[in-house]
Amino acid sequence: MKIDGITTRSIWLEADGHSIGIFDQRALPWSIERLILSEMEQAADAIATMATRGAPLIGAVAAYGLAMALRQDSSDQALEAAHKHLAATRPTAVNLRWALDRVAAHVRPLPQHRRPAAAYAEAARICDEDEAMNRAIGAAGLPLIREIAARKPGQPVNILMHCNPGWLATVDWGTATAPIYLAHDEGLPVHVWVDETRPRNQGALTAFELAEHGVPHSYVTDNAGGLLMQQGLVDMVILGTDRVTANGDVCNKIGTYLKALAAHAHDVPFYVALPDSTYDPATPDGASVPIEERNGKEVSTVTGPDTEGVMRQITVTRSPVRNPAFDITPAALVTGYVTPRGVLRGAEELASLIKE
């Protein structure tokens, strides 16, 4: 997709052949800064500090992180230690462990001298596949938007979105944004309600992306969705996910569950977009997903540039804080799963998402 008018992925291999480039998402949307990661420790740090974020993207960065570690030391012990270290950076998105397991399984049987190159090649394949899957999610979700557009000619299709399931959270295209980009590109009148997604304001990243692509949108508080649905101003909800469990429960950014409840109450279809790598058949249900608890300072403060562009942090409370970063939406509240294999309904159909 485009950033600052330049077409790019959110992750790329640098000319030296072993470092990767990413956008520092802590600086977005105020400034576009690139980070070069050359060592496993830098990749791990980028994931843990959310310089890079989004379920599929942290998987891709971790995959390259493992390749970087093997470049230094390709022994069995080094492989297992790097896998463990990178897997511990964030607990909730299954894509992280999936990508690490995949690279490790690919290189383990190889002689040590062949492991680094093989790991880099596998990480590149993970990136290529992620882009292809997101395009396929776009193609699967587009008819849902077309259908609504056909029912209300001349009026915008209003779509509510939470967090950033966009290209900045993936390798390219995004998951839930892919159908919207395609709909907009074919001239359908779409308008997106973008939840701000406190405390990390991932909605600001979604808004930034949509603006770059010229998609009409409005930035709203996390609590606005209920009223908008009550007023008939939401035609569908579509959002991404960090893990879908065997029974179809959806783990996604905190606040998703409340949107699902409101959508259910108002008969608004609630779609969840995911690539194969986000499906976790090994975890039976949402209650078994480890929910990341982040630093309370993210809630008790607000950070952003002042009118002069200088970054400021303002304290909003000195009370004790809890900061769970994800929640669970029960499968019963999900209208459909928009996947590279089409729109799937229910846990049985989801089982067709066989992961490598």
Q: Pick the stretch among 157-165, 179-187, 213-221, 222-230 that binds ligand MRU (CB under 6 A).
A: 157-165
Q: Which is nearer to ligand MRU, 43 or 70 (CB)?
A: 43
242 binds ligand MRU (CB under 6 A): yes
Q: CA 9 to CA 1: how far, in whole Å?
A: 6
Which residues are part of the catalytic machinery? 242
Q: CA 331 to CA 352: how far, in whole Å?
A: 16
Q: Which is nearer to ligand MRU, 53 or 191 (CB)?
A: 53
| Subset of residues 79 to 138 that bind ligand MRU, contact rule: CB under 6 A | none
Contact 95, 277 (CB under 8 A): yes
Pairing of strands 11-13, 6-7: unpaired
56 binds ligand MRU (CB under 6 A): yes
55 binds ligand MRU (CB under 6 A): yes
- With left for phi above 0 and alpha for psi between -120 and 50, is residue 106 left, alpha or beta? alpha
Q: How far is the CB of 343 from ligand MRU (least distance, A)?
A: 17
| Subset of residues 322 to 341 that bind ligand MRU, contact rule: CB under 6 A | 325
Residues 121-126: contacts with CB within 8 Å, 24+ apart? 122/63, 122/67, 123/60, 123/63, 123/64, 123/66, 123/67, 123/99, 124/13, 126/59, 126/60, 126/63, 126/99, 126/102, 126/277
241 binds ligand MRU (CB under 6 A): yes
254 binds ligand MRU (CB under 6 A): no
Pick one of 74, 247, 252, 339: the residue that binds ligand MRU (CB under 6 A): 252
Q: How far is the CB of 294 from ligand MRU (least distance, A)?
A: 8
Tokens representing 340 are 């590279």
3-state secondary structure 168-221: HHCCCCCCCHHHHHHHHHCCCCEEEEEECCCCCCHHHHHHHHHHHHCCCEEEEC
The residue assigned the tokens 């980009």 is 181
Q: Pick the stretch among 5-13, 35-43, 48-56, 307-315 that binds ligand MRU (CB under 6 A).
A: 48-56
Pairing of strands 6-7, 2-3: antiparallel
Count of residues touching ligand MRU (by CB under 6 A): 19
Q: Which is nearer to ligand MRU, 119 or 163 (CB)?
A: 163
286 binds ligand MRU (CB under 6 A): no
The residue assigned the tokens 């002069």 is 308
Q: Which is nearer to ligand MRU, 53 or 115 (CB)?
A: 53
Contact 292, 253 (CB under 8 A): no
Q: What are phi and psi of 17, to 5 degrees?
A: 85, -5
Pick one of 138, 165, 179, 248: the residue that binds ligand MRU (CB under 6 A): 165
Closest CA to 178 of 209, 142, 213: 142
**Residue 291 CB: number of other CB atoms within 10 A?**
16
Q: How far is the CB of 213 from ligand MRU (least distance, A)?
A: 16
Q: How far is the CB of 7 from ligand MRU (least distance, A)?
A: 20
Q: How far is the CB of 124 from ligand MRU (least distance, A)?
A: 20
Q: Which is nearer to ligand MRU, 73 or 292 (CB)?
A: 292
Peptide bond into 156 cis (omega under 30): no
Q: Which is nearer to ligand MRU, 144 or 163 (CB)?
A: 163
By beta carbon distance, the residue nearest ligand MRU is 240
Q: Pick the stretch among 50-58, 64-72, 105-113, 206-214 that binds ligand MRU (CB under 6 A).
A: 50-58
Contact residues for ligand MRU, defined by CB under 6 A? 53-56, 163-165, 169-170, 175, 200, 202, 239-242, 252-253, 325
